[in-house]
Amino acid sequence: MKKMYIFFAVIIGIYIIMFAAQESVRTVQVIGSKIAPNEAIALLTDGNERFVTGQQHYPNQDQSRRNLTSSKGQHPFATVISCSDSRVPVEILFDRGIGDIFVVRVAGNVVDIDEAGSIEYGVDHLETPVLVVLGHTHCGAVTAVATKAKLHGKIPPLVDNIIPAVLKAQEEHPHLKGEALIEEAVKYNVWQAIEDLFKTSPISVGRIKYGKLKVVGAIYDIKTGKVSWLGEHPNQKTLLAEYGASTVTHPSAH
């Protein structure tokens, strides 16, 4: 009988821990944009780990969440710009729900005027503390540029932003060919997108300088489901100094 009591006590304890973990995800989410950048990144990292291991919590996906966000508005804790590729479902791979992430999607995760404007809405208007530029393995847009594929319609001007990344990958890694070059170019394309954001968005630069925003790169592996974090742009300090001269001082940056 004593062993049975111990068994049931252990089972109940496990359920309490699981419930507490799920509630922790929900509770942190209510805070939204008030959390620190590293906390936001930790939430994304933990969610991706759950996704990879098949232990998703599926937070904030029920009717109560829809009621809350429809009546109180959205308060996401992160902005993510990713590729439009159907194999890169941002909320799913980070195991998040409604109102958690402000997502901007475009082929090749490039940053031009329209994308910069959408990003500004997330990081400035909604005040998310972190922006993630998310590239992914086997990116079709990067592959098209690297292989000089024949493109039609409106696609050539779209992928123009990727050309500098591919050229830099080729220049710095002349020994790489084929898939190896493409995968390296994917990383350089993440850095290029961040640099293009700094060029086109004084508001984003201002928020970084005032400590209101952290911009990091990451790459999603479409086979394993794992997100590898690249951190801030390796030349961020130099880039901010270069493009910060024209920074617009925005009230919300203070």
56-100 pLDDT tens trace = 999 999 999 999 999 999 999 999 999 999 999 999 999 999 999
CB 15 within 8 A of CB 49: no
Q: Is the pLDDT of residue 20 over 50?
A: no
Q: Is the pLDDT of residue 18 over 90?
A: no
Q: Is the pLDDT of residue 1 over 80?
A: no
In which domain, by residue range, is 188 found?
2-253
pLDDT band for position 34 (cuts 50, 70, 90): confident
Distance CA 171, CA 156 (A): 22
Q: Please tell me the total number of residues recorded for the chain in this structure.
A: 254
pLDDT at 52: 98
pLDDT at 44: 98
pLDDT band for position 244 (cuts 50, 70, 90): confident
pLDDT at 105: 98
CB 140 within 8 A of CB 182: no
Residue 225: CATH number of its domain: 3.40.1050.10
- The region of weakest confidence among 8-17, 84-93, 161-170 is 8-17
pLDDT at 35: 92
pLDDT at 10: 44
Q: Is the pLDDT of residue 145 over 90?
A: yes
pTM of the model: 0.86
Contacts of 157 (CB under 8 A, 6+ apart): none
Domains identified in the chain, total number:
1
pLDDT at 38: 96
